[in-house]
């Protein structure tokens, strides 16, 4: 299994440009997440989804949008890139079994620089 696949791995954007970070998983997980990690810092939740058609904001959603049209895909959209969005972005997925969530599988990350 491929697990969680993110594209692209690296990207440089100019201020004001837009882009979509792609994330797909092949484990039939119902939960998917987007995190950002600033240098030397922890993981901050941007958005998450509990299933196709359902998304919700995390801790730092401003400047981002998501959609979940299928179980497999969870793209993250940056509409007007700003230098503050320079970060490493991780997509993750997990499966909820009753009250207990299974482990989160992370993608390799996308390193985004906004100049």
Of 8, 12, 16, 41, the one binding another protein (CB under 8 A) is 41
Torsion of CA 56, 61, 65, 66, to 10 degrees: -40
Residue with Cβ nearer another protein (73 or 106): 106
CB 16, min distance to another protein, A? 29
* 67 versus 108: smaller Cβ distance to another protein: 108
- How many CB atoms are located within 10 Å of the residue 38 CB? 12
What span, in angstroms and rounded, lies between the C-alpha atoms of 47 and 61?
Answer: 6
Q: Cα(54)–Cα(40) distance, rounded to whole angstroms?
A: 31
- Does position 100 interact with another protein (CB under 8 A)? The reply is yes
CA–CA dist 11, 86 (Å, integer)? 10
In the bound state with another protein, the residue whose beta carbon lies nearer, of 38 and 79, is 38
Residue 54 interacts with another protein (CB under 8 A): yes or no: no
Using the contact rule CB under 8 A, the part of the chain among 9-17, 65-73, 74-82, 89-97 near another protein is: 89-97
Q: Which two tokens stand for residue 47?
A: 């958005």
Among 1, 14, 28, 42, binds another protein (CB under 8 A): 42
Asked if residue 8 has a cis previous peptide bond (ω within 30° of 0), the answer is yes
Residues at the site binding another protein, with contacts judged by CB under 8 A: 31, 33, 35, 40-43, 45, 48, 50, 58, 90, 92, 94, 96, 98-109
């Amino acid at each position: 299994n491929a697990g969680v696949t993110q594209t692209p791995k690296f990207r440089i954007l100019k201020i004001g440009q837009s882009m979509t970070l792609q994330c797909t998983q092949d484990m039939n997980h119902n939960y998917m997440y987007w995190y950002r990690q600033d240098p030397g810092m922890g993981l901050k939740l941007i958005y998450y989804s509990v299933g196709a058609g359902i998304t919700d904001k995390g801790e730092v959603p401003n400047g981002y949008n998501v959609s979940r049209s299928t179980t497999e895909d969870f793209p993250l959209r940056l509409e007007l890139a700003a230098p503050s969005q320079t970060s490493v972005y991780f997509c993750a997925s997990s499966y909820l079994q009753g009250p207990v969530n299974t482990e989160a599988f992370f993608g390799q990350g996308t390193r985004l620089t906004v100049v």
